[in-house]
Amino acid sequence: MQLLTPTRTATTLARGNACAFLFSFLCVLVGMSVPTKTPTAIVAMSMGCLIFGWLFVATIIAHVTSENGMVCELPNPGGEFHALTRFPIVVRLENNSNRWPLLFLTAEIITACDGNILRSPQKFIGLLPVRSAGEFAWNITARKRGEYHLHGLEAGTSFPGSLLVRRFFFAFDLPLLALPTVYKLKPKTNELLVGQRQANGHQPSNATAMEEFVGVREYRPGDNPRNVCIALSVKMPDFPWQLVVREYEDPTVDEVCVILDTAVPPVGSESDSLMLYRFEKSISFAVALCRQLCERKHPVLFIACQADGKTVEMLLKQPSKEIPILERKLARIKPIRDVEASNRVIRRQAQVSDAILLFVGLLNEPGRGSHRLAGALRITPEWQSSLVSEVVGE
Q: At 377, which CATH number?
A: 3.40.50
Looking at the structure, tell me whether residues 92 and 151 fall in a common domain. yes
Q: What is the CATH number of the domain that holds 110?
A: 2.60.40.3880
10 Å Cβ neighbour count for 332?
Answer: 12
Looking at the structure, tell me whether residues 133 and 172 fall in a common domain. yes
Looking at the structure, tell me whether residues 266 and 380 fall in a common domain. yes
Question: pLDDT, tens digit, for every residue of 71-129?
Answer: 888 877 668 999 998 888 889 999 988 888 888 999 999 998 888 888 989 999 998 89
Contacts of 108 (CB under 8 A, 6+ apart): 119, 120, 121, 122, 123, 153, 154
Predicted pLDDT of residue 100: 85
Predicted pLDDT of residue 35: 65
Domain boundary among 197, 222, 249: 249
Q: What DSSP line would sit under 348-387, residue for residue?
A: HHHHH--SEEEEE-S-SS--SGGGG-TTEEEE-HHHHHHH
Q: What b-and-e string marks burial along 198-237, b requiring 16 or more CB atoms within 10 Å of the CB? A: eebebeebeeeeebeeeeeeebeeeeeeeeeeeeebeeee
Q: Tell me the backbone φ, ψ of residue 320, rounded to 5 degrees.
A: -65, -30
Q: How many domains does the chain have?
A: 3
Q: Tell me the backbone φ, ψ of residue 194, rounded to 5 degrees.
A: -65, -60
What gap in Å lies between CA 182 and CA 81, rounded to an integer?
A: 10
Looking at the structure, tell me whether residues 303 and 221 fall in a common domain. no
Looking at the structure, tell me whether residues 306 and 273 fall in a common domain. yes
Residue 123: in which H helix or E strand, if any? Answer: strand 123-128
Instruction: Report, as ranges of residue numbers, the positions in the chain whose pLDDT lies below 50.
Output: 198, 201-210, 251-252, 368-372
Q: 129: closest CA among 153, 88, 100?
A: 100
Looking at the structure, tell me whether residues 287 and 331 fall in a common domain. yes
Looking at the structure, tell me whether residues 88 and 171 fall in a common domain. yes
Predicted pLDDT of residue 266: 63
Looking at the structure, tell me whether residues 311 and 333 fall in a common domain. yes
Q: How many residues does the chain have?
A: 394
Looking at the structure, tell me whether residues 56 and 158 fall in a common domain. yes
DSSP, res 20: H
Residue 333: in which H helix or E strand, if any? Answer: none
Looking at the structure, tell me whether residues 329 and 385 fall in a common domain. yes
Predicted pLDDT of residue 205: 42
Contacts of 274 (CB under 8 A, 6+ apart): none
Looking at the structure, tell me whether residues 47 and 81 fall in a common domain. yes
Looking at the structure, tell me whether residues 192 and 333 fall in a common domain. yes
Predicted pLDDT of residue 2: 74
The residue range of the domain holding 172 is 1-179
What gap in Å lies between CA 194 and CA 330, rounded to an integer?
A: 28
Contacts of 287 (CB under 8 A, 6+ apart): 180, 182, 183, 323, 326, 327, 330
Domain boundary among 249, 274, 305: 249
**Strand 376-379 vs strand 356-360: parallel, antiparallel, or unpaired?**
parallel
